[in-house]
Amino acid sequence: MSSRRIDITIPDLTGRRALLTGGSDGIGLALATRLTGAGAEVLLPVRDLGKGRRARAAILDEHPTGSVELLELDLASLSSVEALAGRLVERGDPLDMLVANAGVMTPPARRETEDGFELQFGTNHLGHFALIGRLLPLLRAGSARVVSQISVSANQGAVCWDDLQWERRYSAMHAYSSSKIAQGLFGLELDRRSRAGGWGIISDLAHPGVAPTSLLAARTATGRTRDGLDVRLIRLLSRLGLLVGTVDTASLPALLAATSTRTGGRMYGPSGPGHLGGAPAEQAPYSRVAIPADAARLWSVSEELTGVRFPA
């Protein structure tokens, strides 16, 4: 099937409020555009407000009657997470869905967040853990669906329990996999704890397969000064319609998860060879993210590191 013909039908989201991280470009922008087009009121927290304004303008160019609110958030700063969540909780508007999509990938050299965490673990996992924990009252009020955007890289490597911050032996790819496994463990554990505690939240995982996004491109935030061979190859394969997806098709698993009416604890991804591209479908969660004991251990560590406590 040509990637140009891959799409899904989503329901009318009029009156629903959706918060999406990482919505200023790539897969996140595609997601924000589709949610807006379906009638959702989209909250778009971004680190770079200039880039966010351009994204908002692009969304509203396509959907002039849409509702997109730009907010400031740096997931690599726990104080920024607390400030945004405090503002939204004070407003009191329930959230119907939250897509934890933002992320950083493979800085060539080890970098730290504002709070001293390894950048990938601190941004991809701890930042979202803190954000969801602080927004829990609004998520419960909206009986929200939460989608954690992981990666095919969560099907390899492991959480580096004895060196979570990669201070002793930094490996860019292994640290990335570890952060995405952590995000997946959290997403499934959130669903288990919600069911056990009666929080009313449904939590799923999604992964985009492989697509030509900016994650592997030259980026100031990661210290990558030029595009690597990997991203150039992905762009070529995507243009040719071979094996990998496009930015639009890669957004569909998370869109499917966010608008599903099924019970939680599921994972969605592309259904093509190696789950690298193709139409979105449910698939079995990766073994590394489906270990409840690891999830409970990570939850406890994450509460200690962030200072954000969920209900017992």
Average pLDDT, the chain: 93
Of the candidates 157, 175, 192, 16, the one whose C-alpha atom is nearest the C-alpha of residue 103 is 175
Domain boundaries, the chain: 12-304
| Mean pLDDT of the 44-71 span | 98
Q: Which of 80-84, 116-120, 139-143, 270-274 comes out lowest in average pLDDT?
A: 270-274
First to last CA, the chain: 47
Given a contact cutoff of 8 angstroms between Cβ atoms, the answer to whether 128 and 77 are in contact is no
| Mean pLDDT of the 181-206 span | 98
Q: Sorting pLDDT into bands at 50, 70 and 90, what band is 1?
A: very low
Of the candidates 260, 221, 262, 242, the one whose C-alpha atom is nearest the C-alpha of residue 24 is 221
Q: Which residue has the tokens 């997946």?
A: 184
Given a contact cutoff of 8 angstroms between Cβ atoms, the answer to whether 63 and 30 are in contact is no
pLDDT of residue 241: 80
276-to-31, 185, 253, 267, 272 alpha-carbon distances in Å? 18, 21, 12, 14, 6
Tell the CATH topology of 12-304: Rossmann fold (3.40.50)
Catalytic sites, residue numbers? 176
Q: CA Rg, the chain, in Å?
A: 18
CA distance linking residue 95 with residue 91, whole number of Å: 11
pTM of the model as a whole: 0.93
